[in-house]
Chains A and B, each alone.
Chain A
Amino acid sequence: DGGITQSPKYLFRKEGQNVTLSCEQNLNHDAMYWYRQDPGQGLRLIYYSQIVNDFQKGDIAEGYSVSREKKESFPLTVTSAQKNPTAFYLCASSMMGVGYEKLFFGSGTQLSVL
């Protein structure tokens, strides 16, 4: 079945540690996205990528990094510079083209600080 796989489902970060959230899709979508969701809040864009080896910062990119070495994969690293990383992280993908912006979401990763 086609879809987006995020792992792990739960992740704990120690002070000063970098952690990487995985996102893989087999939908053959060109565009991939990372959103952050805090309790009672909507989704805020961290990074997005429209093509391999290229990505753009979203509204809250500070303290995060991404790579897009393969079309299927868009991992997110939460660095030690992100001082408040506790949140629900959602990866999504979409086709390119107006009218095709429907986002397909993964099941999310809940990141907490130890």
Chain B
Amino acid sequence: QKEVEQNSGPLSVPEGAIASLNCTYSDRGSQSFFWYRQYSGKSPELIMSIYSNGDKEDGRFTAQLNKASQYVSLLIRDSQPSDSATYLCAVNPLNQAGTALIFGKGTTLSVSS
């Protein structure tokens, strides 16, 4: 059974701090990795995708991938109260077209003002 693991949280950070969210996956052959943000009662929205080892930055968000350790992380710099949400890590386990993503259970982030 292919798995994606995340700490459920809640992760609490003060406004302006860096929030660090972590994800591990079981299938070593996975090649595509995604972070989705989900507000309560809403559908998930994609905030980052990463395919190669290393860091990928987009605004206040940085995704980090380490395939040897089977580890993906998301850093949120200058955290804002509007960042308070559940963050879902998703993995394409087969690197094949149209393969359904496997999701972790999500980490709840709370940013206090």
Contact = CB atoms under 8 A, between A and B. Distances in A.
Interface in A61-114: 90, 94, 96-103, 105-108
B45 A105 contact: yes
A94 B43 contact: no
A45 interface: yes
Q: How large is the interface on B (under 10, 10 to 19, 20 to 34, 35 or more residues)?
A: 20 to 34
A35 B31 CA distance: 21
Q: How large is the interface on A (under 10, 10 to 19, 20 to 34, 35 or more residues)?
A: 20 to 34
B61 to A, nearest CB: 15
Contacts of B43: 90, 105-108
B103 A42 contact: yes
A43 B44 contact: yes
Contacts of A100: 97
Interface of B: 4, 6, 8, 31-32, 34, 42-46, 49, 51, 88, 90, 92, 95-106
